[in-house]
Amino acid sequence: MVTQIEATDVLTCPRPTVARIVPSGVSPVSGRGPALRSNGRGDNIMISRRPGIPGRIPDAVIIEPRQSRGERPLVSVHGIARDVPGMADGLANAAQATGRTIVLPVFDKDHWPRYQRAACPARADHALLALLSSLEAEGRIPRGPVDMSGFSGGAQFAHRFTWLYPNRVARLSVASAGWWTFPDQDTAYPFGIGPERTGPSAAPFCFRTNLRAFLDRDIAIRVGARDCVVDDKTRSGPRIDAQQGRDRLTRARTWATALRAASRALNMPDRVDFAILPDCGHSFTDCADAGLTGVFLDFGHNRPSGLHSCGRTCA
């Protein structure tokens, strides 16, 4: 069984001043494992684990400020390694600077093996909607849109979820996806938004219908300068390589270009922010250290424009 966050897993801060809230019926995240790195900002965050309902609502790690500023919550989705403790470690201290609540859903492999597709057979998209509704009902997040983010497989989920439910997401920030759904009606879903080759499906229709609404938001795209290696996790083949490129770096650049072209075709402003993170491969920790957490939380980062080349770091 794929690892889920248990009461003995990480997210324990070495400083006793960082507390963990434990609402009724919720197990705390505590115990052994890599500790949260201190940023010297004090004891302003609390971390807890919220159990879900298997197959219906995913477990979630919740990072909450002691004093909320009323900011939109951020949902951040893990990659296929499901290293939620590592993501929480990278985001928790940055959260102190913003006073924002961060929700990290745990799409375990037993129940959501292909969560990256969002509208997968197990409907990971419905599971996240149920989680958000539950957190709103509990008063842990305000009602309304959230900011959505994801790394690797989580970036795949995040952009497809946003496309399916544009009214539920305010800002989208994604990094290092293995592959993307393109705003191309001549390419079959899920590589584009044309009808599926396997038969009728509601998903590509929703993508086509929601294209303008999807593009009508700030979209930040990041990828590591050294994420140009085709590994055994990279989905490859003549068709996808011809459409998107062979590696994550090329594919991120190609997707950003496609979104900008789609915006121009619809006479919409370009709201795509694309940049390459220097000296980073396919590692959330390295990307976080290079500023990805600031991008996800929308603070303390530059917003370069244009499509950068990978220069000397990429073969």
Is 277's pLDDT higher than 70? yes
- Reading the block at residue 141, the tokens are 């997040």
pLDDT score of 200: 56
Q: What is the DSSP letter of 31?
A: S
Is 310's pLDDT higher than 70? no
Label residue 312 by pLDDT band (50, 70, 90): very low
DSSP-derived secondary structure for 177-200: -S----S-TTSBTTTSSBPPTTS-
pTM of the model: 0.83
Backbone dihedral region of 311: left (phi > 0), alpha (psi from -120 to 50 degrees) or beta?
left
Is residue 296 within 8 A of residue 74, CB to CB? The reply is yes
Label residue 222 by pLDDT band (50, 70, 90): very high
Mean pLDDT of the chain: 83
Q: What is the DSSP letter of 57?
A: B
pLDDT score of 202: 87
Kindly list the structural domains of the chain, giving each domain's residue range(s) and its CATH number in brackets, ordered by start: 1-144 (no CATH), 178-315 (3.40.50.1820)
Closest CA to 274 of 304, 239, 297: 304
pLDDT score of 23: 34
Q: What is the largest CA-CA distance in the chain?
A: 56
Whether the CA torsion 81, 275, 263, 242 is positive or negative: it is negative
Half-sphere exposure in the Cβ direction for 140 (13 Å, CA): 26
User: Taking the CA atoms of the chain, what radius of gyration do you get in angstroms?
Assistant: 19
Is 17's pLDDT higher than 60? no
